[in-house]
Structure 1
Amino acid sequence: MDGRQRRILHCDMDSFFAAVHMRDEPHLTEVPLVIGGDPHGRGVVSTANYAARAYGIHSAQPAATARRLCPHAVFLRPDLERYRRESDRIMAIFLEFTPVVEPASLDEAYLDISDHLAPYDSATAVAAAIRERVGAETGLAVSIGVSSSRLVAKIASDWDKPDGLTVVPPKEVAAFLAPLPVRKLHGVGPATERVLIKQGIDSVADLRRRGREELAGVLGQFGATLHDFAHGIDPRPVGLPRERKSLGVEDTFQTDITALVAMDRVLGSMAAHVYDRLAQRGQTGRTVTVKVRYGDYRTVTRSQTLGQPVADTEELAGWARRLLRRTDAMDQPVRLLGVTVANLTEAGASGEQLGLFG
């Protein structure tokens, strides 16, 4: 990277799945709307409009819980092909402003406009023009964060939702990041957050008070990366994303678990999270893998490749639980579980109708 100042946008559609339905079916505009699985079954929430979020409903939550929180909410099954068509329209608009567009999912993308400010005077003006174009041509709202890095632009896009525009100039990055909880930083999940909190690190400001070597001693190489992030340093370029070969999640427990019912519950939650992320990317997959680490740190994996891509959360959770039973988890304390889906493909590519989110 040369000495010029980068100008990065993170564009994030507001309640994208729900917003498409509200635009096309105006009677849904004023009601709490939840897109996801059957609220009478074991499906999960994909997204919810802001009226539903006011009741505490959120993504990856069990749909049955959402129904208890708001019994009068309207529940709709996802229509992934419809969302993909809208996503293609939106990405095409982004490409009219810069060729450097990196889709992160169906409803968000990073744009590098460093060399593509004309005919506008600033990155802020480009972002405002994009918001206007998206709204005028699709009837949907997009929130945009503007800064000098992916890290800060991503956080900024969530700052003033819905329909927001937040600009963080380079000289304001340090002050913007300082009070944020560490979980706002890229790559900090629940397990890493727990490790940091145990070290007395709750905020970005706390991270800055620790040395690079100290953080690396706690978290390995990622500790050094977090040290940079805390200081607003993020050189990651924007470009075409590498093809993802798998997608998964894992968690290390504070206390080893021994009850099979507890492990099944964790795997169900992980399956919902993984499938939700796959659906957001318009993908599914055929190979399911479960990772188990015992209390003595032995680690095993069990995999199954299916004849057809995983159809919904319930199927993924079912396979994860079956694979768990091919391990010694029933007889050994377990300190870590993980669920991964591989052999990824575009959802619906084989022609079958996918039953998203159970």
Structure 2
Amino acid sequence: MGLESAVSLYDQSTRGRAGERRAPGAGARPLRPHAAGDRSVGFAEVRDFHVEVARRADPALALVPLLVGGDPSKRGKVIAASADLRSRGLVPGMGMVEALDRAAEARWVPTDMRRAREQSGLLRAAVRREVGAVEIEGLAGFYLCAPADREEALAVARRLEARVAEQMGLPLRVGVAPARFAASLVAEDAGRSGARVVVAEDFEQYLLAQPIDRLPGAGPKTAARLAELGATDIPSLRRLGLDRLEVLLGNHGRSLWLLACGQDPKPLRVRRHPTTLSREESFAGDERDPGELGAVLVRLSERLEQALQRDGLRAGRIALRLTYADERTVTRSHSFDAPVSAVRELAVAARALLDRIDLGPDSVRRAGLVLRGLEISGAEDRQLDLF
């Protein structure tokens, strides 16, 4: 639908029976700009996580302009760039060759996903020890419930920052706000590390001062479309009204309206622990030897045991996933009689699953183990204490 047709449709939808025009948003459910409560939302993250992981692995990279990503000789992409390079327009997603051409002094290091996942797990464990339940955002971001009081929220943020610095040597930035999406904006305002809090009484002023393109989902194309409609900031976006935005942009328009009013359409869902854990290993060359596959499953079981111990968990179910050279995937699973966490139990179960697969003449490119039915160790004992 073109812009003129959409506006015409909007005009028809906002006229009463006598042809009189209703105010934009008339008939819509009344919305307050935001709702204050006794809780706020926090967002904590390690900015430039892949860069920080690479520098932690090799301290010689600490002061070097750094690009992390795919092999430039294989048309790899930038996954992360150090702050000095980002300020020059080198951003994730661009080709590595182009990035190196534009910054000849930069160092390229390949993405080490195994190390990144390991560090991500340690980071999750550190954050959970401080605040308990979190909602995970990527490898290094966490949403959490936070106090509405400014000083209490700052105290939580500083404890988180101190714990991550002490246990991992990584910088953490934390933002707290009355709405989920705003917490991540406030965290960005904190810089590379540190804490910022926007309380309910200051939220309206903070929100109205933000440019439209800081709203989630308001990319360059959407911002240009809104500018055509006369919305160049949050106040003018609100003035368009919910009805008009829904007619012109559909559900996306409704989401933007809610965000502009300080209400996040995406609810906060925190958990005390992950629902699954997985580890996988790829082979340099395609693999056919069951003995080598068995050795890989032992290594994966050892890494999963470490992950379970780190989070204080046990697993009720294990699955083996093999990916062949033609990308065909075969999966087998097993439920334990009682939840387990020891490497021996995991490895024995994984080997039994491998024995259930007829490998045939085809080569295996990747093997992975997935644990499900996770529960906190000692949960049964705590349940018995209730009776």
What range describes the TM-score normalised by the shorter chain of this pair?
0.5 to 0.7
Matched, 1:204 2:231: no
Match of 1:108 among 141, 145, 156: 141
Asked if structure 1 preserves the Cα contact closer than 8 Å seen for 2:36 and 2:200, the reply is no
Q: Residue 83 of structure 1: CA displacement? A: 0.8
Q: Residue 188 of structure 1: CA displacement? A: 2.5
| Distance across 1 between alignment mates of 2:87 and 2:215 | 25
Aligned counterpart, 1:143:
173
Task: Supply the AA of the counterpart residue of 1:28.
Answer: L
Asked if structure 2 preserves the Cα contact closer than 8 Å seen for 1:32 and 1:51, the reply is yes
Task: For residue 240 of structure 2, give the secondary structure of its aligned residue in structure 1.
Answer: coil
Give RMSD over aligned pairs. 3.2
Aligned counterpart, 1:283:
none
What is the correspondence of 1:253-292 to structure 2 with a 5 Å cutoff? none
Asked if structure 1 preserves the Cα contact closer than 8 Å seen for 2:67 and 2:109, the reply is yes
Q: Residue 238 of structure 1: CA displacement? A: 2.1
Aligned counterpart, 1:10:
43
Task: For residue 68 of structure 2, give the secondary structure of its aligned residue in structure 1.
Answer: strand
TM-score (norm 2): 0.59
Match of 2:110 among 58, 68, 77: 77
| Distance across 2 between alignment mates of 1:351 and 1:225 | 38
Asked if structure 2 preserves the Cα contact closer than 8 Å seen for 1:41 and 1:64, the reply is no
> Quick one: structure 1 residues 201 and 154, their matched pair in 2 at CA, closer, same or farther if it must change by over 3 Å?
same
| Distance across 2 between alignment mates of 1:182 and 1:222 | 14
Match of 1:27 among 55, 60, 77: 60
Aligned counterpart, 1:96:
129
Aligned counterpart, 2:367:
350
Larger-gyration structure (1/2): 2
Match of 1:230 among 253, 260, 268: 260
Aligned counterpart, 1:217:
247
Q: Residue 37 of structure 1: CA displacement? A: 1.4
- Report the number of matched residues: 253
Tell me the alpha carbon deviations over residues 79-98 of structure 1, each in whole angstroms, 9 at most, x when there is no partner.
Answer: 11111111111111221233
| Distance across 1 between alignment mates of 2:225 and 2:329 | 39
| Distance across 2 between alignment mates of 1:34 and 1:45 | 7
Asked if structure 2 preserves the Cα contact closer than 8 Å seen for 1:31 and 1:51, the reply is no
TM-score (norm 1): 0.63
Name the stretch that deviates more: 159-168 or 133-142. 159-168
Task: For residue 176 of structure 2, give the secondary structure of its aligned residue in structure 1.
Answer: strand
Tell me the alpha carbon deviations over residues 17-70 of structure 1, each in whole angstroms, 9 at most, x when there is no partner.
Answer: 111121231110111010011234411100011233243211111111211111
Tell me the alpha carbon deviations over residues 161-183 of structure 1, each in whole angstroms, 9 at most, x when there is no partner.
Answer: 21132211112222212232222
> Quick one: structure 1 residues 183 and 306, their matched pair in 2 at CA, closer, same or farther if it must change by over 3 Å?
farther
Task: Supply the AA of the counterpart residue of 1:350.
Answer: A
| Distance across 2 between alignment mates of 1:308 and 1:38 | 26
| Distance across 2 between alignment mates of 1:221 and 1:235 | 11
> Quick one: structure 1 residues 306 and 202, their matched pair in 2 at CA, closer, same or farther if it must change by over 3 Å?
farther
What is the correspondence of 1:39-50 to structure 2 with a 5 Å cutoff? 39-50=72-83
Structure 2 unaligned blocks of 5 or more: 1-34, 276-321, 331-364, 370-387
| Distance across 2 between alignment mates of 1:54 and 1:223 | 31
| Distance across 2 between alignment mates of 1:88 and 1:78 | 17
| Distance across 1 between alignment mates of 2:366 and 2:146 | 33
| Distance across 2 between alignment mates of 1:306 and 1:187 | 33
Matched, 1:152 2:173: no
Task: Supply the AA of the counterpart residue of 2:188.
Answer: D
Task: Supply the AA of the counterpart residue of 1:125.
Answer: A
Task: For residue 183 of structure 2, give the secondary structure of its aligned residue in structure 1.
Answer: helix
Aligned counterpart, 1:307:
328
Aligned counterpart, 1:175:
205
Tell me the alpha carbon deviations over residues 307-333 of structure 1, each in whole angstroms, 9 at most, x when there is no partner.
Answer: 369xxxxxxxxxxxxxxxxxxxxxxxx
Asked if structure 1 preserves the Cα contact closer than 8 Å seen for 2:36 and 2:178, the reply is no
Aligned counterpart, 2:8:
none
| Distance across 2 between alignment mates of 1:138 and 1:216 | 46
Tell me the alpha carbon deviations over residues 150-201 of structure 1, each in whole angstroms, 9 at most, x when there is no partner.
Answer: 1110111111321132211112222212232222112333443332222122
